[in-house]
Amino acid sequence: MNISNTPNTSSTITGFILLGFPCSREEQILLFVLFSVVYLLTLMGNGSIICAVSWDQRLHTPMYILLANFSFLEIWYVTSTVPNMLANFLSDTKVISFSGCFLQFYFFFSLGSTECFFLAIMAFDRYLAICWPLHYPTIMTGRLCTNLVISCWVFGFLWFLIPIIIISQMSFCGSRIIDHFLCDPGPLLALTCTRAPAIELTSSTLSSLLLFIPFFFIVVSYALLLRAVLRVPSAAGRRKAFSTCGSHLAVVSLFYGSVMVMYVSPTSECEAGMQKMVTLFYSVVTPLINPIIYSLRNKDMKHAMKTLLRT
């Protein structure tokens, strides 16, 4: 990795500057306290789901195993950005090293990719459970569930690997300031000495495929699920079926709604302030809300949580 003030002049610059949320010192401390609380609540909420699924034998089913893995993912997803953000609030220089920047870049996007795949297989699991209830135990076996989980992690961590390696080997010129609270590909590519349209196109294509392939899979799963539910003769049966998948649908809506505003909508080239707010929502706020959604809308999870709190 090279960085210079001009394409031909070397410099001793040791990293990038993440501007984060520029404001007064007092406001920086207030933001530090706020996001520290959010981070701790996120760890506690998702950690509680993992513990509840681990300790309650009734939750040792594919649906809850996937949910526990999803919560584990959410812990690491929020950890890829928030600790560095907290350090920046108290820092005067707000410098992040080259290796730190690209490690954050890799883990943030790899974990985000893994989340897209997890949401897709969770939708597939709900489709099988509701549309094929008699065959569900023989189809969604423990082995298949394990293979799906492993596949999500492997594909997620391989999806952006090559573009990130290539970008990390490029030379950077001029300003090293990134107007964001994390290392994002757009600002990084804007700092390169020469434009790389092939890399920009590859990154954009991979992002689009990552969003739309799992999203299409989710939409098809829920369309088939909805058709099956509407054929259920009793209103109580329909309500039970909808409540089973309602939590997952809410999480999908929150995550994909904010991500598509960021990367797919015509206003995706919006000002830096809006980009930071949208990124903050799907990378920090959503992992905080998800445990609440799953706990409030699921009787088995609520019972397991109560049991966990009493122990």
Any idea how long the chain is? 311
Give residue for tokens 């969003």: 211
Give residue for tokens 């699924």: 53
Mean pLDDT, consecutive 10-residue segments, the chain of 311 residues?
44 72 91 96 93 88 93 96 94 90 94 95 91 90 94 95 89 84 86 83 87 92 86 72 77 86 56 81 92 77 76 64
The CA-atom distances, in angstroms, between 270 and each of 9, 125, 238 are 33, 36, 42
160-178 per-position pLDDT tens digit: 999 899 888 888 887 788 9
In this predicted structure, what is the pLDDT of residue 10?
36
Q: Which residues of 124-151 are buried (b: 16+ CB within 10 A; e: fewer)?
A: bbbbbbbbeeeebeeebeeeebeebbee
Phi, psi of 9 (to 5 degrees): -115, 125
77-95 per-position pLDDT tens digit: 999 999 999 999 998 888 9
Q: How many CB atoms lie within 10 A of CB 275?
A: 19
Instruction: Specify the pairing of strand 177-178 against strand 15-18.
Output: parallel
Question: Angle at which helices 62-79 and 299-310 pack, to 10 degrees?
Answer: 70
CB 191 within 8 A of CB 199: no
State CA 196 to chain mean position distance: 27
- Runs of H (alpha helix) within the chain: 25-55, 62-79, 82-89, 98-131, 136-139, 142-159, 161-168, 185-190, 197-230, 235-263, 272-280, 286-296, 299-310
Q: How many CB atoms lie within 10 A of CB 264?
A: 14
Which residue from 301, 279, 293 is spatially nearest to 78, judged by alpha carbons? 279
Q: Taking CA 97 as the corner, what is the angle to CA 95 and CA 103, rounded to the nearest 5 degrees?
A: 125
Spatial distance between the Cα atoms of 79 and 107, rounded to a whole number of angstroms = 10
Spatial distance between the Cα atoms of 256 and 112, rounded to a whole number of angstroms = 11
In this predicted structure, what is the pLDDT of residue 9?
37
CA count, 13 A, side-chain hemisphere, 88: 26
